[in-house]
Amino acid sequence: MKTAFKSGYRNIHPNCRHVIVPYIEEIHTADEIQKAIVDSNKPFEDNRPDAEKGLYSKQQADNRRIRQDRYQYERYKARLGEDAPKSFHAFRKMKKAGGEKWGKFQLDYKRRSKLATNPELILPNTEKAFIDESKFTKYFFGGNNQDGLSKGIAFNSHLGYNIGNWEDFGKEILSKVKLNPAKFDRKTEHGGYYKLPMVVYGKKNNPMDIMTVWEVKSGTARLITAFPNHKKE
């Protein structure tokens, strides 16, 4: 019982409806004490109506789900920081709705947790990672490269990033580099190439899974390209 109270529960277990009160023998007569002893040794008999039992079971199940969701929210908030829903209510609403947004949110948590437990998977030279301005102004959101422009259209549609706020896009990508595991892809004459998938949230708080490719050499890591990632993990 002491353990239960130390854990923070007001009674025996979470959401317990029983009430614990002290029994002081000195204020009871001998007959009352004897009756209490007899009553305490009787087998338990639940004489509540079935409707009341059913309602209680439902309430307990609901309370368990809320408690489990609360624990999960705290874990996700600790791992994802500002990218986590701002409130427990918003978290439960997203989880209940499910769908693509909830799936991307779970994927983000999974990847960041993987790097946290396997720090050796971090992109080499991550502290010196950079992105050329032309990658945004002359590839994704400008210039004549149709492949790059098609990616930019997808980023703008889903994330709200465009030629007017490309710097914010670059900052978000760079902030996510150190949070997600990278995988070596190939070695070339220019350096080592790594693939690093990440979930970005953009201006619309509409998470999108993108694949980024980095060239690692001479103590730096340079973004080569990025595109919507449709591969399932």
* Domain locations in the chain as residue ranges: 2-79, 117-228
Q: Do 105 and 207 form a contact (C-beta atoms < 8 A)? A: yes
Q: How many CB atoms lie within 10 A of CB 146?
A: 8
Specify the range with the lowest mean pLDDT, choosing from 14-18, 69-73, 183-187: 14-18
The structure tokens listed for 129 are 């990672």
Question: How many whole angstroms separate alpha carbon 12 and alpha carbon 84?
Answer: 33
Question: Own/partner pairs for 208-211, CB < 8 Å, 24+ apart?
Answer: 208/104, 208/155, 208/158, 208/159, 209/104, 209/107, 210/155
Report percent pLDDT > 90 for the chain. Answer: 69
Q: How many CB atoms lie within 10 A of CB 162?
A: 18
**pLDDT per residue over 83-112, tens digit each?**
999 999 999 999 999 999 999 999 999 999
180 to 162, 195, 199, 229: CA distances (angstroms): 24, 11, 9, 14
pLDDT at 53: 84
Average pLDDT, the chain: 91
User: Considering only CA atoms, which of 211, 185, 207 is closest in space to residue 196?
Assistant: 211
The structure tokens listed for 201 are 């949230």
pLDDT at 130: 97
Return the CA Rg of the chain: 28
What band does 1 get if pLDDT is binned at 50, 70 and 90? very low
The pTM (predicted TM-score) of the whole model is: 0.79
Q: Do 156 and 230 form a contact (C-beta atoms < 8 A)? A: no
Question: How many whole angstroms separate alpha carbon 218 and alpha carbon 200?
Answer: 27
Q: What is the mean pLDDT of residues 221-226?
A: 97
Question: How many whole angstroms separate alpha carbon 178 and alpha carbon 38?
Answer: 67
The structure tokens listed for 148 are 């790059």
pLDDT at 12: 61
